[in-house]
Homo-oligomer: A and B are copies of this chain.
Amino acid sequence: MLSTQPYKGARDFYPEDKRLQKYIFTKMRDVVERFGYEEYDAPIIEPLELYLAKSGEEIVNEQTYVFEDRGGRTVTIRPEMTPTVSRMVAARRQELSYPLRLYSIPNLWRYERPQRGRLREHWQLNVDLFGMSGLAAEHEIIQVADAVMHNFGAKRTDYIIKINSRKFVNYMLSEYLQLNDVQTSTLIKIIDRMAKTPPAVFSAEVDAVFSPSARENKLPEQLLHLLKTNIIDDLPLPLRSHPSVERLESLFTLLHQSGMTNVEFDTSLMRGFDYYTDIVFEVFDTDPENNRAMYGGGRYDGLISLFGVEPLPTVGFGMGDVTLQNFLESHNLLPKLKPETDAYIVLIGDVYVRAQAAINDFRNMGLKIAIDSTDRNVPSKIKAASKKGIHYAIFIGENELDSEQFVLRDLIEGTEERHSSSRIVSIIKDRRKK
């Protein structure tokens, strides 16, 4: 006997679930289109090579769905969209007009143990701005990330946007703290897990990366102190005056001018992917119960040059549906949604054929209607409509067809009225707007 369960870590969307997903996607599209972004899409299967170069080891080696197709090609069910959009822009590098604003809400797959906020299958709003090297790009992308939250009804006290710079991190580790490349990349991975690591373990891990002489000079302690710094002016002088920090400072000024009070410098923010080159940001729930990064992005200027074309300055972010939905639920920001179907047609007696013209009229006037032509009794039919959450029932029998006056029952209020079909349509359309 076959199982009725969906594949582990993935979700079935029954109509009530799909309705919620469509609500979420519509709210996302609404915002990004107001900022001039246009939707694109691409196949869910991509060659493995696309991810090997720049996605970071963990995601490719341990977390992707990789298999060989019947033609012997090693392919991947895409775990993220950035390599794909880079491929598409590279393919038309010369013809496209910049600044180029693109968004997508792709279905993505990662092979990992399902847990709260992380499933094997998810959808992710991807927003990318190509062709702008100036800070106006970061400013806009972070504004979009903020406006999406606002469009769901979140207040700026509900979440905080933490910002850092990869260039600053590199300078801090390799120049200021004099670490070599291996030490730097090991530390970036350790810091990336900081929030999930107990403080004592974290200190020990950091300590172990430094050389004995660096430890004597208290460099690990200096780093631990720096990682807690979230005010630019508190940075020691050689760091404070580094160009990457000046860039961060200008970005904060722009964001503050746009009324964004919920942005914060965070020297410990790393963001996993290897392709980021400068500013990175992540959005966190301010609720201490949910201390994981919900989503984020940053600047990744070099990526399209992997395809042998001129590089393009690029800033983008990705926002997953699962973490977002958890956030919206815990902040009571998800609405109760009604079924799309406006009315349930209850046929009385053997009028199926005769009722067709009236039914077509209702549809042609724009109503979404479901017919119950079963031979159950009327109370059972009404019960079925109520169970489906449909607001209205319209009764059609011989009398109604003769008089061209139909009984409209409001299944929520329990009231009944008799009207012409056009009057019924306008009552229902008025109700829809509420």
Contact partner, A111, options B7, B42, B69, Cβ 8 Å: B69
Count copies of this chain in the complex: 2
**Beyond A7-B43, A50-B2, is A77–B77 a contact (Cβ under 8 Å)?**
yes
Complex contacts, A39 vs chain B, CB 8 Å: 15, 18-19, 22, 340
Is A431 interfacial (CB 8 A cutoff)? Answer: no
User: Are the C-beta atoms of B306 and A363 separated by less than 8 Å?
Assistant: no
Residues 62-119 of A contacting B (Cβ, < 8 Å):
65, 67-71, 75, 77, 87-88, 90-92, 97-99, 101-102, 107, 109, 111
Interface positions, chain A 1-59, Cβ under 8 Å from B, are 1-8, 10-15, 17-19, 21-22, 33-36, 38-47, 49-50, 53
A433 adjacent to chain B (CB < 8 Å): no
- Whether B97 contacts A34 by the Cβ 8 Å rule is no
Q: Of all chain B residues, which has the CB nearest A34?
A: B363
Task: List the interface of chain A (C-beta within 8 A of B).
Answer: 1-8, 10-15, 17-19, 21-22, 33-36, 38-47, 49-50, 53, 65, 67-71, 75, 77, 87-88, 90-92, 97-99, 101-102, 107, 109, 111, 121, 131-132, 134, 136, 140, 254, 257-258, 306-308, 339-341, 344, 352-353, 356, 360, 363, 366-374, 384, 387-388
CB of A48, distance to nearest CB on chain B (Å)? 11
Which are the 3 A-B pairs with shortest beta-carbon distances?
A36-B370, A10-B43, A67-B67
15 A-B contacts, Cβ less than 8 Å apart? Answer: A5-B91, A10-B42, A14-B88, A15-B102, A17-B40, A18-B41, A21-B41, A34-B368, A35-B363, A36-B341, A38-B340, A38-B341, A45-B65, A132-B374, A258-B356
Assess the A41–B13 pair: CB atoms within 8 A. yes
Chain B residue nearest to A366 (CB atoms) is B34
- Tell me whether B2 and A49 are in contact (CB under 8 A): yes
CA gap between A12 and B98 in the complex, in Å: 19
| Cβ-defined contact, A45 with B384, below 8 A | no
Give the docked Cα–Cα distance between A21 and B41 (Å): 10
Q: How far is the CB of A316 from chain B (nearest CB, A)?
A: 16
Task: Chain B residues near A306: list those with CB within 8 A.
Answer: 1-2
Known: A10-B42, A13-B40, A34-B366. 11 other contacts (CB 8 A): A1-B306, A2-B53, A4-B87, A7-B45, A15-B102, A19-B38, A33-B341, A36-B371, A44-B107, A101-B370, A258-B356
* B11 lies within 8 A of A38 (CB): no
Point out the residue from B8, B15, B77, B370 that lies within 8 Å of A40, measured CB to CB: B15
A392 to chain B, nearest CB (A): 12
Query: Which of A53, A87, A341, A370 counts the most chain B CB atoms within 10 A?
Result: A370
A92 — which chain B residues lie within 8 A by C-beta?
A: 14
From B2, B17, B98, B353, A254 is in contact (CB under 8 Å) with B353
